Amino acid sequence: MTDNRSYLLPALALSLVAAGTLNPALADTVTGPEGEIEITAITHNGAQLVHGDRVVTIDPWGLMGLEGLQTADLVLVTDNPGHHLDPEAIAALSDDDTVVVMPANSSQRLPHGMVLENGEETTIAGVRIEAVAAYDIIPGAPEHPKGDANGYVVTLGGLRFFFAGVTECVDEVKALRDIDVAFMPMNIPVGRMTPAAAAECTRLLDPDVVYLYHYDQGYARRAANPDADAGGLVDGMTIEETLAAFERELASSGIAVRRGEFYPPLP
């Protein structure tokens, strides 16, 4: 982690989410050397960062509503499934100056976007972006092959935010340094990123703050199709039990675990 640890403050408030609406006015916050950064959870695997007049949005999925979110200077897409790449949500949060950054697998659906390959870096609207490989180690469907999807390190307000996307703790993730705030997936099918594995990866990154996201795959299926099978989790655990297990794993680590409101109530 960076020398900015002393700048990070506890959460001022958690995002409040009513069914189908988001309220960024009460978003979670961290404070870095260049001031406060507001963090708002977006359903399942998205977030919006606001620092002054800079707005960065990651994987906006509009199925449960986007009310109150700001127009983005920069939209980052991690992968091409609809809960990561939602063209209507991206359009709703964009204006003529918005830049969309994506992996190559998304270019057919977003022909106006900018492709950033694994390992590439760029600066847009004063925000530094690093594309990090996101892929599977354990084989099986759904498959996330190496080179197909991105995670991102976003440097904003003097802090480094890591959005892992859907990945296991691959070498490219382990190699990251100076991460202040991490967004980590958990409960990915075929036993990928169990609570223990997600916690071990988080300890390796050693951020000041970690959020779990993309951890309730059953919710995502039911949100798109109310009749869908929610599926099961490793060792028959409930979602709440997996969250508690992750928190126990990090209890003595010095890493603050925050529960963002990534799963508003389904109608």
CATH of the domain at 155: 3.60.15.10
In a domain? residue 133: yes
User: 195-205 vs 239-249: helix axis angle to the nearest 10?
Assistant: 40
Q: What average pLDDT does this structure show over 174-203?
A: 97
- Domain of 51 in residue numbering reads as 3-258
In a domain? residue 35: yes
In a domain? residue 131: yes
pLDDT of residue 16: 28
Least confident of 62-71, 96-105, 128-137, 170-179: 62-71
Q: What average pLDDT does this structure show over 252-265?
A: 95
In a domain? residue 264: no
Pairing of strands 121-124, 114-115: unpaired
25: pLDDT strictly greater than 60: no
Alpha-carbon distance 58 to 55, whole Å?
10
HSE, side-chain direction, 13 A CA sphere, residue 141: 0
Structural domains of the chain, count: 1
In a domain? residue 24: yes
Alpha-carbon distance 250 to 16, whole Å?
25
In a domain? residue 163: yes
222 φ/ψ angles, rounded to the nearest 5 degrees: -70, -30
In a domain? residue 265: no
In a domain? residue 266: no
